[in-house]
Amino acid sequence: MPEWLTDASVAVALIVAFAGLLQQMINNSGKKAEVAASTDDNLIKNMGAQLDRLEKAQRQDRARIDWLEDELWTERKVRHEMTNALSQTVDWGEDVMAWIGSGRVDTPPHALDWGKFRKLLETPLPRRPPPVVDD
């Protein structure tokens, strides 16, 4: 055996090799922690961007819902006016039929305002375009 290869030199070499392996493991774990931290940062940024997109979509949906509610109330108002006009017309028709059936010639039923009814039928509904929400 060569002179430099003694028990002490072998022990020192083993200790140095073990220290080198330990140092490499510590370096790798530090790099893994750095990679994990940067991955977490990217994940948080991506989640923030996704939340922003979802909030924008929610605002757009809310604007569309508000528009649809306004349209619904307009339709209900027109339906109510049409129902009242039809009810008045039916009542007038009943009065006319009762008057004809009674054989009376005096005091005919009141005249129905056909112009008001016709105007209601011919009036276009106010329409507005759906909202466009840009943020």
Could you list the residue range(s) of the whole structural domain that residue 40 is in? 7-122
What residue type is assigned to position 80 of the chain? H
Q: Is residue 113 part of a domain?
A: yes
Percentages (nearest 5) of helix, strand, coil residues in the chain: 80, 0, 20
**What's residue 56's pLDDT?**
93
Q: Is residue 134 part of a domain?
A: no
Q: Is residue 47 part of a domain?
A: yes
Q: Would the pTM count as exceeding 0.85?
A: no
**What is the domain count for the chain?**
1
Tokens for 76? Answer: 């209900």
- State the DSSP string of 24-79: HHHHHHHHHHHHHHHHHHHHHHHHHHHHHHHHHHHHHHHHHHHHHHHHHHHHHHHH
**What's residue 62's pLDDT?**
92
Q: Is residue 129 part of a domain?
A: no
> In this structure, what are the phi and psi dihedrals at residue 105, rounded to the nearest 5 degrees?
-115, -15
Q: Is residue 27 part of a domain?
A: yes
What averages of pLDDT result for each successive group of 10 residues across the chain (135 residues)?
Answer: 68 83 78 70 87 93 90 86 88 89 83 82 71 63
